[in-house]
Amino acid sequence: MPETYIARSSAIAARMLAGEMMVMNSADSKFFTLNEVATAIWQAADGRTPLSQIVRHGICEKFDVDLAQAQLDAERFVAELSTHGILLVSDRPFSDPAAAAGQL
């Protein structure tokens, strides 16, 4: 099965508020808040780390959740944010993730 790589879009604005990440896409001004688990995925979206690794090391080890369920939830979350242009998804590492990601 091919790996999935995720990177934060450069079109977004983002900031932590009381443990939750606020995210807004400038293209449509859609506003989201991410819970703690989603925030951890978001912060790990460096364009180079495969999603499976993010889930295994960044989610399961930290939040004590089942790997298969966490992988499914993460894929759903990534698919939803990618439809809003907030996360970029590829089956290969991004060549210039810094251009997409910005710093938090």
Give me the residues that bind another protein (CB under 8 A), please. Answer: 10-18, 22, 24, 26-27, 29, 31-33, 102-104
Distance CA 80, CA 95 (A): 23
Q: Which is nearer to another protein, 56 or 84 (CB)?
A: 84
Q: Least Å distance between CB 43 and another protein?
A: 12
Q: Concatenated DSSP letters for 70-102?
A: HHHHHHHHHHHHHHTTSEEEESS--S-HHHHH-
Q: Least Å distance between CB 52 and another protein?
A: 26
Q: Which is nearer to another protein, 1 or 18 (CB)?
A: 18
Q: Least Å distance between CB 13 and another protein?
A: 4
Classify 82 in phi/psi space as left (phi over 0), alpha (psi -120 to 50) or beta: alpha
